[in-house]
Amino acid sequence: MAATVEQIERKTLGKVRPHQTQNEGLVFEKSAAGKRGYKLPPLDVPEVDAKAALGPAYRVEKAGLPELSEIEIIRHFTRLSTWNYAIDLGMYPLGSCTMKYNPRVNEYVARIEGLADAHPYRPESLAQGVLEVIDLLQRCLIEITGMDTITLQPAAGAHGEFTGILLVRAWHESRGNARRKIIIPDSAHGTNPATAAICGYQVENLKSNAQGGIDLEALERQVDEDTAALMLTNPSTLGVFENEIHKIADILHAKGALLYMDGANMNALVGKVRPGDFGVDVMHLNLHKTFSTPHGGGGPGSGPVACKKFLEPFLPTPVLVKKDGELHWEYNRPQTVGRVRAFYGNTGMFIRALAYILANGPDGLRQTTEDAVLNANYIRKNLEDLYELPYKTPSMHEVVFSDKRQAAKGVKTGDIAKRLIDYGFHPYTVSFPLIVHGALMIEPTESESLEELDLFIEAMRSIAKEVEESPDLVKSAPHSTRVSRLDEVQAARKPVLRWRHENK
């Protein structure tokens, strides 16, 4: 039997963070004819027949825009803004996403007039400041990754994957054989198979071993003269570092294949180890993950691709070069894979990332990595007695539990995540990676203090207790939100994509 409201309130009293409960209608529902949020002076020019002037471009029917007063508009959008969960409000434990805090100094630097207002068509002679920022960031990222060269052009992580595999394909083609397949472990990011396919490759899956890492014997059997590359996420989506990465690289290189590294989890490596030193040929980075540029909301992201020297001729154009003391864009590169982004990527993200790198310095970046790993292991240690840990391998920046114990009571990972909302936390990543049934994927990043981690741990332990004592309470969560549990199947199959004014 489902818990009553009184039971829910009793159960959550003193634990649930306060939510603003004021409901807010659609802006169209607030509309009333004749309301205005502005007032214009009387017309002091002759009236024009718009229909005659515009002809076919003249709109016959009314636009049906909402009509409100200024204060109604202000209150409407202010109230809506208070509903948004953000990293500025609380912890974002989304595993594999690295939802870290963006220091405000990044935003200040990105708004410096000469940088923020720099037009992409500005002549190179007048854009040396912005080009110096780009050049310095490139040199920093090359040093951090241990690679030889880099492009900042890709707009996001998946776009970086695409660009990196284009480089792989171009290199193989230059040797007379593009090869046929790419091997992808079952612990990789979900975008990896899509990237390989869109670049024209067949995808072969590689199963993980009992420790959650690459099975070297299976890899050796699978790699052949048709293999273009292995796309490896390291640390993997299990939060496991491939401690035999050198051997993995040797197996691939012996057959003429390349090692591509998905660098989405570099928040666990920066300042500690460099992919270029353990055999990686090409990799992408996520500036909006590791280097603290804004993440979410559809972008803009940034997914630079770093590679070894032998792949440099194939980099997207233009490439930044220094001649006679000035930086210039070089376009004449016969073997390039071509442009993959308008201009040279999202410059505002470059400025923010460089500000973050320079503010931390080498020691600070290393400390950031150590804190991220420490936070993840602190959560692991404090929850592993209540939640199943499918892989006992040491965790890096994130920890993956399963709902095996809770599922015995009929409570799934999605139920636990929804109940976590009642405690004021954004849910963790649900049901991923797929190789862990009922996965709870948690990544606290280095941003979180001991006090915030303890609050999260207390919430997760409390939910585990609720599962034992009153599972229906968890299965019917969330209880403190404006909208209760939705029918996700109906939402997926019959989404309401449009609201018309006449529906009012």
- pTM of the shown model: 0.88
The one-letter amino acid code at 437 reads H
pLDDT tens digit sequence for 240-292 = 999 999 999 999 999 999 999 999 999 999 999 999 999 999 999 999 999 99
Answer with the residue of higher pLDDT: 11 or 405.
405
Q: How many CB atoms lie within 10 A of CB 441?
A: 24
475 and 411 in contact (C-beta within 8 Å)?
yes
Q: What is the CA radius of gyration of the chain?
A: 26
d(CA 252, CA 229): 7
**Per-position DSSP letters for 397-436, written without gaps between them:** S-EEEE-HHHHTTT--HHHHHHHHHHTT----EES-STTS
**Strands of 282-285's sheet, edge to edge?**
149-151, 305-307, 282-285, 258-263, 227-233, 181-185, 202-206
Distances (CA, A) of 158 to 12, 58, 378: 40, 42, 30
Are 257 and 227 spatial neighbours (Cβ–Cβ below 8 Å)? yes
Mean pLDDT (whole number) for 80-104: 89
Q: What is the chain's length?
A: 504
The per-residue pLDDT for range 389-420, each reduced to its tens digit, is 999 899 999 999 999 999 999 999 999 999 99
Helix (H), strand (E) at residue 183: strand 181-185
pLDDT reported for residue 2: 44
**Distance between CA 28 and CA 503 in Å, rounded?**
10
Dihedral sign, Cα of residue 427, residue 429, residue 434, residue 435: negative
Amino acid at 421: I
Task: For 130-186, write each residue's pLDDT tens digit.
Answer: 999 999 999 999 999 999 999 999 999 999 999 999 999 999 999 999 999 999 999
- pLDDT of 387 above 70: yes
Report the distance separating Cα 167 and Cα 304, nearest Å: 13
Crossing angle of helices 191-198/157-174, nearest 10°?
A: 40
Exposed, middle or buried by CB within 10 Å (0-12, 13-18, 19+), for 407? middle
Report which listed range, 37-46, 62-71, 202-211, is most confident. Answer: 202-211
pLDDT tens digits, one per residue of 26-46: 888 889 998 988 888 988 999
DSSP-assigned beta bridge partners for residue 282: 260, 307
pLDDT of residue 85: 86
**What is the percent of the chain where pLDDT is above 90?**
75
With CA atoms as reference, report the closest residue to 109 among 88, 86, 130. Answer: 130
Please give the pLDDT value at position 164: 98
Residue 433 predicted with pLDDT over 70? yes
pLDDT at residue number 81: 85
Q: How far apart are CA 480 and CA 145, in angstroms?
A: 44
What's the CA angle centered on 286, arms 284 and 288, to 5 degrees?
165
What confidence tier does 18 reach under pLDDT thresholds 50, 70, 90? Answer: very low
Out of 41-50, 209-218, 295-304, 316-325, pick the least confident.
Answer: 295-304
Helix, strand or coil for residue 177? coil
Rounded Cα distance, 135 and 130, in Å? 9
| Widest pairwise Cα distance in the chain | 84
Encoding tokens for residue 141? Answer: 């990222």
Checking if the pLDDT of 294 tops 90, the result is: no
- pLDDT above 70 as % of the chain: 93
Q: Provide the angle, in degrees to the nearest 10, between the axes of the packed helices 450-469 and 413-422.
A: 120
Which residues partner with 182 through β-bridges?
203, 229
Q: How many CB atoms lie within 10 A of CB 47?
A: 6
For tokens 């920890």, the residue is 399
Question: Can you tell me the mean pLDDT for 348-376?
Answer: 97
Higher pLDDT, 82 or 245: 245
Between 487 and 423, whose confidence is greater? 423
Q: Which domains, and CATH codes, for the chain? A: 5-83 (no CATH), 104-358 (3.40.640.10), 367-492 (3.90.1150.10)
Q: Where do the H-state alpha helices sit in 84-182?
A: 104-110, 113-116, 128-145, 157-174
Q: Which of 96, 100, 105, 87 is nearest to 354 (CA)?
A: 105
Residue 3 pLDDT > 70: no
Q: In the predicted model, what is the mean pLDDT of residues 454-464?
A: 97
Q: Are 205 and 184 in contact (CB under 8 A)?
A: yes
Q: Give CB contacts under 8 A, 24+ apart, made by 189-193.
A: 189/96, 189/157, 189/233, 189/237, 189/262, 189/264, 190/432, 191/157, 191/158, 191/161, 192/161, 192/231, 192/233, 192/262
Report helix, strand or coil for 24.
coil
pLDDT at position 428 over 90: yes
> What mean pLDDT, rounded, does the chain reach?
91
